């Protein structure tokens, strides 16, 4: 069973609207959580990183939250643009391991 | 361009053939990772180098797979006797980290990937 679960699997939104992506994890011991954006046919690009003590981090129109107690994170996209169409991957790191645990991603499609 | 580069971007081969991919990391990065990604899934860890030392290989990396990083700079991933199940995107990432301990907050920078199709 994957230790990082993301929902929804995919979503379609209209340009200018907001959306929120969810990530639940069971990875332990926890070190940090990242959100990556992956355009089709490209490698993932880091958007945000949060450690145990951080509960929110923003990068432009992207805002990530972290609840380390419930092991949940969200990524909120504000005022979506066509260029936001991509897969968004939640990635969790253990404190005793350099390997990353990846979610399957949420595919976001923004339509005009 | 000072990012991670990979070559080729696309490779189509017949089953049974050997293929080799190259990754050039960001020049000052000491850590290099190979991942495999299939459609609709997140990347899966294959192997990790710190400088020229290959420190870990995933169980996904069968004996048909071999990776090298001879001078601690670029890396190659070779797949021998390719099978249709090897069809995937092969991603390389690099980072700058200190020591061998895990849980580092160093960000992994990914290359564009090599898409392999085995016919």
Q: Looking at the complex, does the CB of residue B41 fall below 8 Å from at least one CB of chain A?
A: yes
Q: Residue B31: which pLDDT band, with cuts at 50, 70 and 90?
A: very high
What pLDDT, on a 0 to 100 scale, did the predictor assign at position B1? 53
Q: Which residues contact B69 (CB under 8 A, 6 or more apart)?
A: B32, B49, B51, B52, B54, B75, B76
Most confident of A9-13, A25-29, B60-64: A9-13
Q: Looking at the complex, does the CB of residue A5 fall below 8 Å from at least one CB of chain B?
A: no
H/E element holding A69?
Answer: none
Across chain A, mean pLDDT equals: 93
Nearest Cβ partner for A49 among B101, B103, B105: B105
CB of B75 closer than 8 Å to CB of B68 = yes
pLDDT digits (tens, 9 = 90+) for B10-20: 999 999 999 99
pLDDT digits (tens, 9 = 90+) for A74-110: 999 999 999 999 999 999 988 877 778 899 999 999 9
User: Is residue B81 over pLDDT 70?
Assistant: yes
Q: Looking at the complex, does the CB of residue B74 fall below 8 Å from at least one CB of chain A?
A: no
- How would you classify the pairing of strands A72-77 and A30-38? unpaired
What pLDDT, on a 0 to 100 scale, did the predictor assign at position B110? 93
Strand order, beta sheet including A62-67: A4-7, A19-25, A72-77, A62-67, A56-59
CA nearest A92: which of A9, A21, A28, A45? A28
Asked if B31's CB is within 8 angstroms of A98's CB, the reply is yes
What pLDDT, on a 0 to 100 scale, did the predictor assign at position B40? 86
Q: Looking at the complex, does the CB of residue A3 fall below 8 Å from at least one CB of chain B?
A: no
């Amino acid at each position: 069973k994957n230790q990082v679960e993301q929902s929804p699997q995919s979503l379609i939104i209209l340009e200018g609207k907001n959306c929120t992506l969810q990530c639940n994890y069971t990875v332990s011991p926890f070190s940090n959580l990242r959100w990556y954006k992956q355009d089709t046919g490209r490698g993932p690009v880091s958007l945000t990183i949060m450690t145990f003590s951080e509960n929110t981090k923003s990068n432009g129109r992207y805002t990530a939250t972290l609840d380390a107690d419930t092991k949940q994170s969200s990524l909120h996209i504000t005022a979506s643009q066509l260029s936001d169409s991509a897969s968004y991957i939640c990635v969790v790191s253990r404190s005793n391991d350099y390997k990353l645990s990846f979610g399957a991603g949420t595919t976001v499609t923004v339509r005009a | 361009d000072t990012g991670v580069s990979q070559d080729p971007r696309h490779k189509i081969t017949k089953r049974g053939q050997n293929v080799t991919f190259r990754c050039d990391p960001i020049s000052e990065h000491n850590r290099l990772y190979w991942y495999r990604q299939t459609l609709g899934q997140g990347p899966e860890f294959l192997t990790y180098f710190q400088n020229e030392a290959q420190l870990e290989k995933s169980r996904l990396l069968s004996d048909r797979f071999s990776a090298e990083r001879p001078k601690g700079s670029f890396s190659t991933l070779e797949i021998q006797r390719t099978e249709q199940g090897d069809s995937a995107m092969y991603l390389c990432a690099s980072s700058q980290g200190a020591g061998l301990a895990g849980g580092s907050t160093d960000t992994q920078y990914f290359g564009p990937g090599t898409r392999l199709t085995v016919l």
